Amino acid sequence: MKTIIAACSQNLSGSRASIQAALRTLLAAPWPSQRDVRSWLQLLSVLQWVLSFLLLGAVSLLLLVYLVFTSFWPISALYLAWIIFDWDTPEKGGRMLPCLRRWSVWRHFRDYFPVKLVKTHDLSPSHNYIIGSHPHGILCVGAFCNFITGSTGFGEMFPGIRPFLTTLAGNFRLPVFREYLMSGGLCPVTRRAIGYLLSKNGTGNAVAIVIGGAAESLSCRPGVTTLILKNRKGFVRMALQHGAYLVPSFSFGENDLFRQVVFEEGTWMRSIQQRFQKMMGFAPCFFYGRGLTSVQSWGFLPFARPITTVVGEPVTVPKIEDPSCETVDMYHEMYVRSLLKLFNENKTKYGLSETDELRIL
């Protein structure tokens, strides 16, 4: 019996010593600094945003289809009934939740790059506006951060102005994802949705449109600034029909967030991309960014490159219910001149050289 007690005492003493040694090792290890914690939070905020835009809609759809074949099928049935009942809401201003635009996660998202908003002229709340957002890039980071989140101070810079951002109408057919988009102030890039915001929602509305769209993303690469704009005149016609002023904006650094395999015009791969874009509304881009574990690894997260979005001078537009083609062309030319002026006056301030030019196709 004494032998057993002695053995147990020896084991307890050894265990106690091991625990104490482990605690000393843990306390001696360097704790993460505040800078490290901020970097992790910034990385996680970008990760959740990328996953939301790339996977939330598809995963939600697959989950609801799966539930149909389980005992939880009433969930899918009820949500389908809700979508049918709520089908037109995206076309009628959506369902913005201001509290979501003020999430602290968006401040970490902003600081990851970082993203900055620059104001050059005032916008009066007594008018409505169409803001042309350039360039498209791969994921429109600058447009999302500035016009959807409140992290860059749009509301403080432009008091009385409510910003909205348009995106593909097909995104609002995906379950759950549609609610996510509407909560932030996104709406379909359709005549009906934009017309509602410009005519039936009072004044002080600023509808941001990424005019180059999916076609422009195919030419996105660092060091090259190409815009698809020459034949994009529908936004000018809508501005004239509703008397909305045209405001150019340019996000310097947007094209530096990813590396893309760009297929030249005339190649069979470029032809496949363009046909897919016409059928589906978006272009299949072959791009990569940084990985989750380190900057040197490959992945789908954007590189941390500064983005500066400069909002230019409004182009005054009269209200003409049925503008002629000549009138549309005239105001389109005025908008292009204003955009070129904005680009040339600011390019050397935000990472470009004096010799860099803006190509408009």
Q: Which of 43-52, 57-66, 350-359 has the lowest mean pLDDT?
A: 350-359
Q: By the 8 A CB rule, do 244 and 127 touch?
A: yes
Predicted model pTM: 0.86
Distance CA 95, CA 81 (A): 18
Which pLDDT value is given to residue 262? 64
Q: How confident is residue 61, by pLDDT bands cut at 50, 70 and 90?
A: very high
Asked if residue 286 has pLDDT above 80, the reply is: no
Give 224-291 as a DSSP string: B-EE--TT--HHHHHHHHHTPEEEEEEEETGGGS-EE-PPPTTSHHHHHHHHHHHHHSS----EEEE-
To which residue do tokens 């000549």 refer? 326
CA distance 211 to 293: 35
Q: Is the pLDDT of residue 72 over 60?
A: yes
The answer, yes or no, to whether residue 105 has pLDDT greater than 80, is: yes
pLDDT for 7 beyond 50: no
- The Cα-based distances of 147 to 62, 144, 157, 319 in angstroms read 30, 6, 12, 25
pLDDT score of 119 more than 50: yes
pLDDT of residue 152: 96
Give the Å distances, CA to CA, from 49 to 45, 230, 289: 6, 32, 15
Give how far the C-alpha of residue 80 lies from the chain's centroid of Cα atoms, to the nearest Å.
27
Asked if the model's pLDDT at residue 338 lies above 60, the reply is: yes
Q: What is the pLDDT of residue 268?
A: 60
Token pair of 310, please? 């400069």
CB atoms within 10 A of CB 345: 12
Region 106-128 average pLDDT: 96
Averaged pLDDT for residues 22-42: 73
For the chain, give the mean pLDDT.
87
Nearest to 334 by CA among 226, 247, 213, 249: 247
When mean pLDDT is compared across 271-275, 307-311, 331-335, the lowest value belongs to 271-275
In one-letter notation, the amino acid at residue 241 is Q
- 11-28 per-position pLDDT tens digit: 445 556 677 666 566 456
Structural domain spans, the chain: 36-351
Q: Is the pLDDT of residue 68 over 60?
A: yes
